[in-house]
Amino acid sequence: MTFLFDIGRVLLDFDFESSLKKLLPLNALDGDHRLLRLLDRKDDFESGNIAVNDYIDWALEILGSDATQAEFCEAWQHIFTPNPPMWDCVRKLAAGGHRLILFSNTNAIHCPWIFEQFPGFSVFDGQVLSFEVGSVKPEPPIYQAAIDSWKLIPQDTLYIDDLPANIETGRRFGFRCWQYEMANHADFENWLAREINLSLSPTP
């Protein structure tokens, strides 16, 4: 069986604001507004439409920061914490011989850095990443790219994501979907057990 896993708020929790606030000038009175402007343009960056250096330079200007590009990258990267229950599940699925594919909106500052920082990603068979494909979820092209790249059969593919819009597009493509909530991991485990048992049941 094939699994498509989102990264953010599924495998890794994240907090952009706390990390990026460290780059703001001490006298910034509109820091939250500056951060909002920065993150509002994140989809363009994660779709690969903005070069890394161009995005960093623009972001530092918006923040009014005198940080270097390297310091920005460090703040941008150090936003993640692992979600242990999901990683336990991923390791069991990998040990069971299932095919695991990352399917995520992300960018060239986070990848491949997170793969080096969190070695557990080595159990995945591959990835479909927005900045490489040129499309972000929930846009249909990235879903089609996943199907084409990995020869997916949607009705035999389980897709886990935390965002309702992404799940909605996944369902339109025929994937078997679960909208994941970190606070309700047990619900996911119950769904997963049912889906795997369904797949293993003989066809009448």
Express each pLDDT in 97-120 by its tens digit.
Answer: 999 999 999 999 999 999 999 999
Domain positions in the chain are: 2-13+81-200, 15-77
169 three-state secondary structure = helix
Q: Provide the pLDDT for residue 29.
A: 86
Confidence (pTM): 0.95
Say which residues have a Cβ less than 8 Å from residue 184's Cβ, sequence separation at least 6. Answer: none
Answer CATH for 2-13+81-200 from 3.90.1170.10, 3.40.50.1000, 3.30.70.2190, 3.40.47.10: 3.40.50.1000
pLDDT tens per residue, range 87-103 = 999 999 999 999 999 99
Start-to-end C-alpha separation, the chain: 20
Q: What is the mean pLDDT of the chain?
A: 96
